[in-house]
């Protein structure tokens, strides 16, 4: 008996997925729990495990294709040649637990039509096919147990008979140059590039910088830390305090909590705060929902849980959706000032720099104060300069007197 593999539904908001990579080739054995394919949503990519063991009989949806949730993408059979019986009908795709991955490892594949099973990546096989090359020749001349793109290209370079390079290998050679190396973009990097480029094109981004005395903010964190850690087991960070303070400022200036749409400007009631989180190979923005209604202890706990899930690759799409404003901080890296790109479809983003001891004038004297630079990037289609300045002014006021927000 054969069964259908379908595009799973991950979380509540997913409606379609794009096949990024098949981890198995047609005819290859698949063990239960083994990764079969990788797909991506608008936010992140996921690994999909086999529900039971079998052989990959047919791939219906190829790499690069996008299909709705529940669509049959492949057929898994009990034997390599399939089964005469029709595959079991696919049930409506439930929400499934799959593993989020920024980049999947290279798959192991089998060369069809060859009695000796050759292990090769899909890219290696594509280059070989376009060059009219038998992979068995490459395997015989290569020490690799799993053939990769570089093995095929090396064989072509050594071959006495010139072979026409594939478009992929030609592009790689051109990009790599004589003293560099080409690294394939991950799915996460593709998503980041697409969203950031779209943001710069779709929004009229303007910038505003303000210097803030962070002395009282640091002191407030130190005073709150013992009781909050005892209560929740989580130590509040400066980002937690800033997130709460930003929510207070947004509530006073609701124009910041808006979205531009073809029909008009949407004024949003709840504030859903995105916290830009750096991963080893990219960036995600988990969202703390309705942050204005939450206490600092709840914000700290939720922020830590989201960051831990992000670093473990377990965030669901809805945990990265619906944001209305984003905070991006690079202060921990010593960056004093930077500007961030708006996370569409939001209207603004706040870039937070490092706290630096700086000589400043106070009451006619020069004193050393812990200063921090904030840069607001805002969509000038919606937010005028005066409105942005008023928001930044409130932000500065509350940061310098944080008890106004934390009371």
Task: Give me 192's structure tokens.
Answer: 């980041």
Cα(342)–Cα(317) distance, integer angstroms: 19
Cα(26)–Cα(75) distance, integer angstroms: 9
Cα(407)–Cα(402) distance, integer angstroms: 8
Residue 123's pLDDT is 67
Helices 167-176 and 149-158: crossing angle in degrees, nearest 10, is 90
Cα(79)–Cα(57) distance, integer angstroms: 8
**Max CA pair span of the chain:** 90
Residue 330's pLDDT is 95
Residue 379, SS3 per DSSP = strand
- Give me the residue label for tokens 């049959």: 72
Q: Does the pLDDT of residue 20 top 90, yes or no?
A: no
- The partner residues of 378 in beta bridges, in order of sequence, read 206, 348
- Tell me the average pLDDT across 310-326: 88
Strand order across the 45-49 sheet? 66-68, 16-22, 35-40, 45-49, 99-100
User: Sign of torsion, CA 211 242 216 357?
Assistant: negative
The residue ranking higher by pLDDT, 77 or 148, is: 77
Same fold, 3-176 and 189-406: no
The full set of domain ranges for the chain reads: 3-176, 189-406
Q: Which helix (H) or strand (E) holds 129?
A: helix 122-130
Burial of 115 (0-12, 13-18, 19+ CB in 10 A): exposed
Say which CATH superfamily domain 189-406 falls into.
Chloramphenicol acetyltransferase-like domain (3.30.559.10)
- Tell me the average pLDDT across 55-77: 91
The per-residue pLDDT for range 189-211, each reduced to its tens digit, is 877 888 889 898 999 999 999 99
Q: Say which CATH architecture domain 3-176 belongs to.
A: Beta Barrel (2.40)
Using the 8-state DSSP alphabet, how is residue 105 labeled? P
The number of C-alpha atoms within 13 Å of 364 and in the hemisphere containing its C-beta is 0
Burial of 52 (0-12, 13-18, 19+ CB in 10 A): exposed
Task: Give me 372's structure tokens.
Answer: 């921090």
112 Cβ contact list (under 8 Å, min separation 6): 25, 26, 27
- Tell me the average pLDDT across 338-359: 96
Please give the mean pLDDT across all residues of the chain: 83
96-100, 106-110, 174-178, 298-302: segment of lowest average pLDDT? 106-110
Cα(315)–Cα(299) distance, integer angstroms: 17
Question: Binning pLDDT at 50, 70 and 90, where does residue 177 land?
Answer: low
Backbone angles phi, psi at 272, to 5 degrees: -110, 110
Residue 400 CB neighbours (<10 A):
14
Burial of 221 (0-12, 13-18, 19+ CB in 10 A): buried
Question: Binning pLDDT at 50, 70 and 90, where does residue 181 land?
Answer: confident
Question: Binning pLDDT at 50, 70 and 90, where does residue 113 land?
Answer: very low
Cα(298)–Cα(314) distance, integer angstroms: 20
The number of C-alpha atoms within 13 Å of 219 and in the hemisphere containing its C-beta is 11
What does the angle CA 276 – CA 101 – CA 53 come to, to the nearest 5 degrees? Answer: 155
Active site amino acids = 380, 384
Residue 272, SS3 per DSSP = coil
Residue 172's pLDDT is 54
The number of C-alpha atoms within 13 Å of 151 and in the hemisphere containing its C-beta is 26
């Amino acid at each position: 008996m054969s069964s259908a593999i379908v595009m799973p539904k991950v979380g509540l908001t997913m409606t379609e997925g794009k096949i990024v990579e098949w981890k198995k080739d047609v005819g290859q054995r698949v063990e239960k729990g083994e990764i079969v394919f990788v797909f991506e949503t608008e936010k992140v990519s996921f690994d999909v495990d086999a529900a039971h063991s079998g052989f990959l009989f047919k791939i219906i949806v190829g790499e690069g294709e996008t299909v709705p949730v529940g669509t049959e993408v492949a057929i898994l059979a009990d034997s390599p040649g399939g089964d005469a019986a029709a595959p079991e009908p696919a049930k409506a795709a439930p929400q499934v637990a799959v593993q989020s991955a920024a980049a999947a490892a290279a798959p192991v594949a089998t060369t069809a039509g060859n009695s000796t099973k050759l292990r090769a990546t899909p890219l290696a096989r594509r280059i070989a096919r376009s060059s009219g090359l038998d992979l068995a020749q490459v395997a015989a001349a290569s020490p690799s147990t799993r053939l990769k793109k570089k093995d095929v290209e090396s064989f072509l370079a050594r071959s006495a008979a010139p072979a026409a390079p594939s478009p992929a290998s030609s592009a790689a050679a051109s990009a790599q140059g004589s003293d560099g190396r080409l690294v394939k973009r991950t799915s996460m990097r593709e998503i980041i590039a697409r969203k950031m480029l779209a943001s710069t094109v779709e929004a009229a981004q303007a910038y505003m910088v303000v210097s803030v005395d962070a002395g009282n903010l640091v002191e407030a964190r130190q005073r709150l830390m013992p009781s909050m850690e005892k209560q929740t087991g989580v130590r509040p960070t400066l980002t937690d305090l800033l997130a709460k303070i930003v929510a207070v400022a947004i509530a006073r200036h609701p124009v910041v909590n808006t979205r531009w749409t073809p029909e008009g400007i949407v004024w949003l009631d709840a504030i859903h705060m995105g916290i830009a989180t750096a991963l080893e190979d990219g960036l995600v923005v988990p969202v703390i929902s309705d942050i204005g209604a939450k206490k600092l202890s709840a914000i700290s706990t939720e922020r830590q849980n989201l960051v831990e899930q992000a670093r473990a690759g377990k965030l669901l799409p809805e945990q990265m959706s619906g944001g209305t404003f984003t905070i991006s901080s690079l202060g921990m890296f010593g960056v004093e000032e930077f500007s961030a790109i708006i996370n569409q479809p939001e209207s603004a983003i706040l870039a937070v720099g490092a706290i630096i001891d700086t000589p400043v004038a106070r009451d006619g004297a020069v004193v050393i104060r812990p200063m921090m630079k904030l840069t607001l990037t805002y969509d000038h289609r919606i937010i005028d300069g005066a409105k942005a300045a008023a928001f930044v002014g409130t932000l500065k006021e509350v940061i310098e007197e944080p008890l106004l927000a934390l009371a």
